Amino acid sequence: MNRRSFVKYLGATSIFIGATSCASINFFGNNYDEETSREAWKKLADKGEAFKYVNPNKKLPNILLYGDSISIGYTPTVRQGLVNKANVFRIYSNGQSSDRFIPKMKKLKETMFQPYLKGGWDFNWDVIHFNVGLHDLKYLKDGKLDIENGKQVSSIAVYKSNLDTICKYLQTEFPKAKLIFATTTAVPEEGADGRISRDSITYNTAALEVLANYPSIQINDLYAFTKPNAKDWHIKPHNVHYNTLGKKAQGKQVTKIITENL
């Protein structure tokens, strides 16, 4: 049995356990205050539909989406697909490069969760769907995208080291959560501002090398899912972002993978 089949089997066999234990694990204490939490989120989060406040239903499992602008695009579709099935949160801003992951996760915890926020959230994550890579492979000069004169944000070695640290952090901090890593979606064949097409393959290969050491972390291969439709789904040439059709298709795929792991 290959890794993908094994992880899929493992996720399926855990559905009944997760369903019976979810209500007892993820509960809100009597100190939870919606107004306090909503105000804290308003000050923390970026604007836009993907960042709207989610008032948790204590009877439902809690999902966290962590990723860059690609994940921002598919977040609303995931929420719609999991209505009455899960509380779907996302990181409060663009997740950006791999070195930002742990600081952003800590800021989320210290801003929104009890005991740091009196009246704040009081629950555990059931599923964390995460991605880093698209901001690691870009070239910058003076904060602007620039392939010719810029420097890549993270070398392959740094990216692998950061991702390894992220995996260790997630397994230590959230030992009961199902972890799902999404591969980085493709840079267009003709390239994009500040990015080279082949790098999405190179960085995904590096990511899978790291994740081979963490067999319990499932892979959502969004690269393979999206690539065949890239010409129809990219918003325009030389742009890594996706149109409405692409965002919805990616969101449905993410919803499918998460549902298999609830």
- Tell me the domain boundaries of the chain: 3-260
Provide CATH code, domain 3-260: 3.40.50.1110
Provide the pLDDT for residue 193.
Answer: 85
The confidence score (pLDDT) of residue 20 equals 35
Cα 38 from Cα 151, distance rounded (Å): 39
Under the phi-then-psi rule, with left for phi > 0, alpha for psi from -120 to 50, and beta for the rest, what region is 238?
Answer: left
Per-residue pLDDT, 28: 46
How many angstroms from the chain centroid is the CA of residue 86?
A: 16
CB atoms within 10 A of CB 90: 25
> Is residue 111 over pLDDT 80?
yes
Structure confidence at residue 30 (pLDDT): 61
Cis peptide before 115 (omega within 30 of 0): yes
Q: What is the pLDDT of residues 252-261, one digit of tens each?
A: 999 999 999 9
Mean pLDDT of 67-83: 97
pTM of the model: 0.86
Query: How many whole angstroms separate alpha carbon 75 and alpha carbon 63?
Result: 11
